[in-house]
Amino acid sequence: NDIIYLKDYLPPAFLIQTVNLEFDLSPHETRVRSTITFTRNQERNAGLPLELHGNELKLISVEIDGQPLSESQYQITAEQLIIPDVPDQFVLKTDVQIDPANNTSLEGLYRSNTMFCTQCEAEGFRKITYYPDRPDVMAAFTTTVIADKTEYPVLLSNGNPVKKGELDNNRHFVVWQDPFDKPAYLFALVAGDLQVVKDTFTTMSGREVALEIWVEPENITKCDHAMASLKAAMKWDEEVYGREYDLDIYMIVAVNDFNMGAMENKGLNIFNSSCVLARPDTATDGAFQRIEGVVAHEYFHNWSGNRVTCRDWFQLSLKEGFTVYRDQCFSADMNDEAVKRIEDVAMLRTAQFAEDAGPTAHPVRPDHFIEISNFYTLTIYEKGSEIVRMIANLLGPDLFRKGSDLYFERHDGQAVTVEDFIGAMADASGIDFSQFMRWYSQSGTPELTVSGHYDAAAQQYTLTIKQQTPVTKDQPEKLPLHIPVKVGLLNGAGADMPLTLSAGEASGAQGDHDRVLHLREAEQVFVFENIDEEPVPSLLRGFSAPVKLDFGYTQAQLLHLMRHDSDGFNRWDAGQRLAITALKAMVTQFEAGQIPKLDSALTEAYKGLFESGLNPAILAEMLMLPGEAYLAEQFDIVPVDAIHACRNIARKTLAETLNAELEQTVAANQLTGEYRPLAEDIAKRRLKNICQSYLMTLEADAVVERSWQQFSTADNMTDQHAALTALVHSKQDEKAKAALESFEQQWKDDALVMDQWFQVQASRPHPDALARVKALMEHPAFSLKNPNKVRSLISVYCNQNRVNFHSIDGLSYQFLADVVLELDGMNPQIASRLITPLTRWQKMDAKRQQLMQAELQRIAAADLSKDLFEVVQKALP
Ligand code: B3K
Ligand code: ZN
């Protein structure tokens, strides 16, 4: 398994003018005929051979300029077609046969139910035909799709349909032309018996764009929300980034078997059905919001990814980090900005920080890989987005827009690098990004240690900030980063004090209530003047940088911030810090054999929340204790059982003490009237369901009955699902069983709803969980071949049912290893993702470490895909 290095990058030896593809579709014997015009790239040496990528292709014929080649004129390896002797300009024709029906990797051309579809990013096009499958080779594609008319009445590809007609044997064809040069990873094809929902969008220059969502017939009632989201995203990108859509048609297709969320193919997005289909009775509020975000994300790629693409796959975050930042801002504008930030940061700190501390840690721009599919990670996407957010905050909105305009204008139609993006931002603003570039090359989560000193006589407040990035497995040395630390100082009344800085660099005007400190050194001092009382510092407002921060706050200071901070994110974060301190104290008691008791200060603080006039969205967030996974992050060695037990006790204590407030909030947030997936209603449902789930910890008859009533009478999936979860996760075994059976009866024909049914059971924190997961793998609705099912049952069990997954008998480790080994032969991408929890043994106790390592060794001994090999090698001790 070869390692590919960024430092070895060379421009392509040949460039392409045009590509003509003809697909003659059949499940096992699809023929792909390509006609490609090549020209030698002047940037490279004359005389280089033509080297094309190709995997699992059966070559039928190959010719150059009309002359068939004999076998002595080319070489075929497992991954390449090499033609040593070619002119400077020529037309290559190849004819290959492929077997989509046996393609279980869901990469290249494959079958999902009765349809054909494609997934080419990153390197899937080489499973379709011989081609220079790299993003810096861009070309205009014309694609002819031929198939049986009855089975595949709908034939789609990128661009515009330019010709269609009938052929012999009940076959028909459509020719699609994409006028925009694109890399092969943006190619797409779909064929099937599909129905469509149509709409239109008029762009800012007055062009009408046809919008089409194509689905299997039974899903035609589930497209409205995705369509509304698409139109909102198109409008937002015009208003916020000045970006107009370019083709006359924009299509989305929903498929059931898909490795990721969705794919931004030019003019023809292909979506995992879970990220596009929604109806109030089948999809939760969370699903509605996810669909809004993913539809927007793929649409935004049309500029940040397609019009301007990546030179090579090391630059992946150039398009993904930027596009995640864009979709996060869009969702913030459509919903509640502070809540969106809280959700995104909670995910980053729980999962990306863990990745950055684990054996697969890598920089946002990695410098080597074996299998690029392993690098579609939280680090590339979420930390990549945080980097763009830091740039946006350093520049301010106007200069950031100037920078993004310059980037799109300069590089339209090009395949570029992170330096080109930063170059545009630097040129637009005059800011020096040289130290900042380390964010792209250095892995690991920086840790800030901050201390404050008040000098009453001098009326000065001094913040001393130290930064240090712990060594990661991939990089022994770390350098100081340029970190924007947004701060405010609260006075005793809770108001922001005007800030005048006399030492240290900052942006924002003197006298403002917020300043962004520029931390560049390992240790740096910032002095504020005219401070007439000892302040409480509000640090890292809005989570201005993806770092860990330690200030040594007292409980009183945290309570002050929780009540008064003008920064919504930091109010929430102060509550989280308080809760972590309280829960850690309980863990200590638990481990000393005492009965853990929740600090009454936390209960009082939570009580105060109900009286604070917070809007329901923020109140709901603030009432949630940190999750078990985030709590685990607070320990060097994770006390997995203690965390679970103590968090449950804390929830019970809160339910007992705040019973009246919780009851009253449930009553006050019952919605009547038609379901609407609007932020305002979502917040009320969420608040009500969170309060009800606290109350369910006490298992009082009336409360259980209320969950049962909600389960049986809900007209929307959010409420039905919340009640189902409350019942299944309670100790009410009879009711749980009845609810699961009724839910299954009601929804057995709806694959996406059945995913939720699997998830609820996989996350059930009962001791029989593993046995149940194994039994559910035999359920007719389960299939190891379908990634949504694998994620719903197996990933959810291994990642969210921590207390069972880490059961000291090691049986769940063994179970995961068995599944991963079986899956690796079918779908390596899913196998290598699924194994993640086993790679995190460093944070477990000695006994569990040993059990987890033994399973990794067992996997390593097998014959593995590149994907799984790379991850397991990194994870082995
Ligand atoms: N660009 C795709 C990811 C494809 C991953 C393939 N292994 C989805 C997205 O980020 O929009
Ligand atoms: Zn993306």
Encode pLDDT of 741-793 as tens digits. Answer: 999 999 999 999 999 999 999 999 999 999 999 999 999 999 999 999 999 99
Question: Could you say which of 193, 226, 243 is where a domain stops?
Answer: 193
Within-domain flag for 606: no
375-382 average pLDDT score: 98
Distance of CA 320 from the midpoint of ligand 1 (Å) = 8
Per-residue 3-state assignment (H helix, E strand, C coil) for 71-100: HHHCEECCCEEEECCCCCEEEEEEEEEECH
Name the average pLDDT for the chain. 98
Residue 809: the pLDDT is: 98
Q: What is the pLDDT of residues 800-809, one digit of tens each?
A: 999 999 999 9
What residue spans of 107-243 are helical by DSSP H?
A: 224-241
| Domain boundary, last residue among 140, 171, 193 | 193
Q: Compute, in angstroms, the gap from residue 674 CA to the centroid of ligand 1.
A: 35
**Closest to 496 in 3D by CA, of 543, 570, 566, 560:** 566
Q: Please tell me whether residue 274 adopts helix, strand or coil conformation.
A: helix
ipTM comes to 0.99
Q: Over range 306-318, report the average pLDDT.
A: 99
CB 355 within 8 Å of CB 361: yes
Query: What pLDDT is stored for residue 338 in this prediction?
Result: 95
Is there a domain that residue 561 lies in? Answer: no
Same domain, residue pair 292 and 146: no
Same domain, 39 and 185: yes
CB 535 within 8 A of CB 454: yes
Would residue 207 count as lying in a domain? yes
Averaged pLDDT, 558-569: 97
What is the C-alpha separation between 403 and 53, in angstroms, rounded?
Answer: 36
What are the CA-CA distances from residue 715 to residues 279, 280, 388 (Å)? 11, 8, 41
The reply to whether 140 and 26 lie within a common domain is yes
Regarding the beta carbon of 373 and ligand 1, being less than 6 Å apart is answered yes
Cβ atoms within 10 A of the Cβ of 8, count? 9
Same domain, 414 and 460: no
Kindly state whether residues 189 and 200 are assigned to the same domain. no
Listed residue (125, 259, 95) closest to 189, CA to CA: 125
Contact (CB, 8 A) for 74 and 86: no
Q: Are residues 199 and 189 part of one domain?
A: no
Nearest CA to ligand 1 atom 7: 373
Q: How confident is the model at residue 1 (pLDDT cuts 50, 70, 90)?
A: confident
The verdict on the CB of residue 107 being under 6 Å from ligand 1 is no
Residue 614 within any structural domain of the chain: no
Q: List the residue whose alpha carbon is closest to atom 9 of ligand 1.
A: 263
Closest CA to 530 of 558, 560, 510: 510
Cβ neighbours of 871 (radius 10 Å): 28
CA of 283 to the centre of ligand 2 (A): 23
Looking at residue 209, which CATH number applies to its domain? Answer: 3.30.2010.30
Q: Is 43 a catalytic residue?
A: no
Say if ligand 1 is within 6 A of residue 372 CB: no
Pocket test for ligand 1, best of 120, 121, 290, 385 (most atoms within 8 A of CB): 121
- Which pLDDT score, from 0 to 100, does residue 63 have? 98
- Centroid of ligand 2 to alpha carbon of 376 (angstroms): 9
Measured CA to CA, the distance from residue 666 to residue 660 in angstroms comes to 10
Ligand 1 contact, 708 CB (< 6 A): no
Binned at pLDDT 50, 70 and 90, residue 484 comes out as very high
pLDDT band, very low/low/confident/very high, at 578 (cuts 50, 70, 90): very high
Any idea of the CA torsion for 763, 765, 768, 771, to the nearest 10 degrees?
20
Is 90 exceeded by the pLDDT of residue 842? Answer: yes
Asked if 429 and 479 sit in the same domain, the reply is no
The alpha carbon of 543 is separated from its chain's Cα centroid by a whole number of angstroms, namely: 18
Residue (of 374, 345, 348) closest to 359 by Cα position? 374
- Distance (Å, rounded) from C-alpha 264 to C-alpha 274? 16
Q: Of the residues 272, 318, 320, which should be mutated to test ligand 1's pocket, given the most ligand atoms within 8 Å of the CB?
A: 320
Q: How confident is the model at residue 364 (pLDDT cuts 50, 70, 90)?
A: very high
> Is residue 442 a contact partner of residue 469, using CB atoms and an 8 Å limit?
yes
Band (pLDDT 50/70/90 cuts) for residue 420 is very high
The number of distinct structural domains making up the chain is 5
Domain end residue (candidates: 397, 417, 441): 441
Q: Whose CA is nearest to atom 10 of ligand 1?
A: 320
Type and span of the H or E element at 415? strand 415-416
Q: What are the distances in angstroms from CA 612 to CA 40, 397, 435, 495, 620?
A: 69, 32, 43, 16, 13
Q: What is the average pLDDT across 811-833?
A: 99
- 470-474 contacts: CB < 8 A, separation 24 or more? 470/357, 470/444, 470/445, 471/444, 472/356, 472/357, 472/361, 472/443, 472/444, 473/358, 473/359, 473/360, 473/361, 473/874, 474/361, 474/362, 474/363, 474/443
**Average pLDDT rounded to a whole number, residues 157-176:** 98
C-alpha of residue 324 to centroid of ligand 2, in Å: 7
Nearest to 108 by CA among 53, 182, 188: 188
Our answer on whether the CB atom of 296 is closer than 6 Å to any ligand 1 atom is no
**Pocket mutation for ligand 1, best pick of 119, 263, 265 (most atoms within 8 Å of C-beta):** 263
Residue 379 Cβ inside 6 Å of ligand 1? The answer reads no
Q: Are 596 and 583 in contact (CB under 8 A)?
A: no
∠ Cα 754 756 761 (to 5°): 100
Same domain for 827 and 765, yes or no, is: yes
Which tokens go with 189? 């094809």
Distance 296 CA to ligand 2 centre (A): 10
Instruction: Judge if 429 and 535 occupy the same domain.
Output: no
d(CA 222, CA 218): 9
- Per-residue pLDDT reduced to its tens digit, 604-629: 999 999 999 999 999 999 999 999 99
Instruction: Please name the residues in contact with 480: beta carbons below 8 A apart, sequence gap of 6 or more.
Output: 435, 467, 520, 521, 522
Interior angle at CA 697, CA 695 and CA 698, nearest 5: 75
Same domain, 513 and 524: yes
Question: pLDDT tens across 267-311, in order?
Answer: 999 999 999 999 999 999 999 999 999 999 999 999 999 999 999
Those residues whose C-beta lies under 8 Å from the C-beta of residue 614, and which sit 6 or more positions away, are 622
Ligand lying nearest the CA atom of residue 186:
1
Q: What is the residue type of 714?
A: A
CATH number at residue 102: 2.60.40.1730
Kindly state whether residue 30 falls inside one of the protein's structural domains. Answer: yes
| Arithmetic mean of pLDDT, 240-254 | 98
pLDDT tens, position by position, 641-700:
999 999 999 999 999 999 999 999 999 999 999 999 999 999 999 999 999 999 999 999
Does the beta carbon of 298 lie inside 6 Å of ligand 1? yes
Probe target for ligand 1 pocket from 264, 274, 870, with the most ligand atoms within 8 Å of CB: 264
**Rounded average pLDDT over 358-379:** 98
Q: 563 pLDDT exceeds 90?
A: yes
Which pLDDT belongs to residue 537? 98
Nearest CA to ligand 1 atom 6: 121
Distances (CA, A) of 100 to 398, 740, 843: 49, 36, 42
Per-residue pLDDT tens over the stretch 212-241? 999 999 999 999 999 999 999 999 999 999
Quote the pTM value: 0.99
Domain of residue 377: give its range. 309-441
CATH number at residue 501: 2.60.40.1840
| Whether 5 and 57 share a structural domain | yes
Residue type, 71: E
pLDDT at 427: 98
Same domain flag for 400 and 520? no
In a domain, 657, yes or no: no
Ligand 1: residue whose CA is nearest its atom 2:
263
Read off the tokens for 87: 């002119």
- Name the one residue in this structure whose structure tokens are 């409350």: 726
For residue 366, is it within any domain? yes
Q: Is the CB of 382 under 6 A from ligand 1?
A: no
